[in-house]
Amino acid sequence: MQNDSTELLYDLFADLLAYPTTAIPGQTEECLAQLRESHPEAGSAFEKFHHGLQQHPLEKMEELYTVTFDMQPVCYPYVGYQLFGESYKRGVFMAQLNEAYHAFGYSTEQELPDHLSVILRFIGLDSANRQGDFCQALLNEGVMPALAKMLQTFGSESENPYFGLLTALQSFLLQTPEKELGHA
What is the tens place of the pLDDT at every residue in 33-52?
999 999 999 999 999 999 99
Average pLDDT over residues 22-38: 96
Instruction: Give the CA angle between residues 106, 100, 16 to the nearest 5°.
Output: 50
pLDDT-derived band of residue 94, with 50, 70 and 90 as boundaries?
Answer: very high
**The pLDDT value given to residue 26:** 96
Residue 125 has pLDDT above 50, yes or no: yes
Closest to 17 (Cα-Cα) out of 147, 165, 174 = 165
Rounded Cα distance between 126 and 130, Å, is 7
pLDDT band at 17 (very low <50, low <70, confident <90, very high): very high
Contact 114, 97 (CB under 8 A): yes
Question: Which range has the worst mean pLDDT, 66-75, 91-100, 137-146?
Answer: 66-75
- pLDDT above 50 for 154: yes
Three-class DSSP labels, 17-65: CCCCCCCHHHHHHHHHHHHHHHCHHHHHHHHHHHHHHHHCCHHHHHHHH
Please state which of the ranges 41-45, 111-115, 133-137, 160-164 shows the lowest mean pLDDT: 133-137
SS3 label, residue 100: helix
| Torsion angle (degrees, nearest 10) of CA 16, 34, 169, 120 | -60
pLDDT band at residue 183, thresholds of 50, 70 and 90?
Answer: very low
Tell whether the model's pLDDT for residue 166 goes beyond 90: yes
Q: Give the 3-state DSSP-derived string for 64-88, with helices as H, strands as E and coil as C.
A: HHHHHHHCCHHHCCEHHHHHHCCCH
Strand partners, 115: 78
Percent of the chain with pLDDT over 90: 73
- Residue 78's beta-bridge partner residues? 115
The pLDDT of residue 130 is above 70: no
What is the structure's pLDDT at 23? 96
pLDDT for res 180? 45
Residues 6+ apart with CB under 8 A from 27: 12, 15, 16
